[in-house]
Amino acid sequence: MSRAIRLITALGLILTFSVAGVASAQSDTGTVTVVHGVPGLTVDVYVNGDLTLESFEPGAITDPLELEEGTYDIEIRAAGEPADSDPAIAGSADVQAGINASIVAHLTEDGTPSLAVFGNDVTTIEAGETRLTVRHAAAAPAVDVWIDGEVTIDNFVNGEEASLDVPAASYNVAVSATGDEEPVLGPADFDLAEGTHYIVYAIGSLDDGSLDLLVQTITGLHDAPTEVPAGVGTTASEGASLTLLLAAGLGIVVITAGSAVAIRRQFA
């Protein structure tokens, strides 16, 4: 049976969501989760000039934040750097009502620190199924994603995501360079529960050996969604079962309402 897998490319920091299930007109706030995927860089995050998130460590994921509509300036500096020093990453962000999104500090393919915006699909999942999303946020070339020993997503590049609904079960996942069978991440076992959206980030750098996996989860999607972040970097080379660690709310970092281009591909 073939399944549609949606590939989405993050287009930048100031955009408008068009992905189904991301936005709702019934709320005057947006839901934002922040993911730190830059290895070796503990940071201070400034919002509109104020130090809002201090000593935010690599691999951490904040609790979901309900934020009012508005425009915010974000500057990210190495922890302890003066507030007037040049930021490592900077941008402006528009929060729109009803969004559910993640902002990811990560490395581009060439290793440059950057920000990416992804809309989170919170539409209802059918009974007995789960949702798996994989996001390429690592300094690495195009990769293939293997699920249970078969290439399910091929030629997957930095800034893209792929998402599919599958029966709730345990899956073995590995990542290799495109066209290569030798994993650069994994294999690792993922136990996926019914009604939950698992968002798996590939982060770090292939060149320095810091590639890793982070997991964010949104639960309760067989009814009203509730979001539970997980900030464990699962070292895929260990082949360990996925462990979810609830991260404490670390402060307010804001995200734009983002837009995405959806490309549908079919895999057997």
User: CB within 8 A of 265, min separation 6: which ones?
Assistant: 4, 5, 7
SS3 97: coil
Q: Which run of H or of E encompasses 207?
A: none
Domain extent listing, the chain = 3-267
Distance between CA 95 and CA 93 in Å, rounded? 6
Beta-ladder partners of 162: 7, 134
pTM for the predicted model, two decimal places: 0.77
User: CB within 8 A of 144, min separation 6: which ones?
Assistant: 151, 153, 154, 155, 156, 175, 176, 177, 178, 179, 180
Distance between CA 34 and CA 45 in Å, rounded? 11
pLDDT (tens, 9 = 90+) of the chain, 268 residues, equals: 334 455 544 433 333 332 333 344 446 888 888 899 999 989 998 888 999 889 999 999 988 888 888 877 889 999 999 999 999 888 776 778 888 889 899 999 999 998 888 989 999 999 999 999 999 999 999 999 999 999 999 999 999 999 999 999 999 999 999 999 999 988 989 899 999 999 999 999 999 999 999 999 999 998 767 777 655 554 333 332 232 222 222 222 332 222 222 222 222 2
Q: Which run of H or of E encompasses 216?
A: strand 212-219
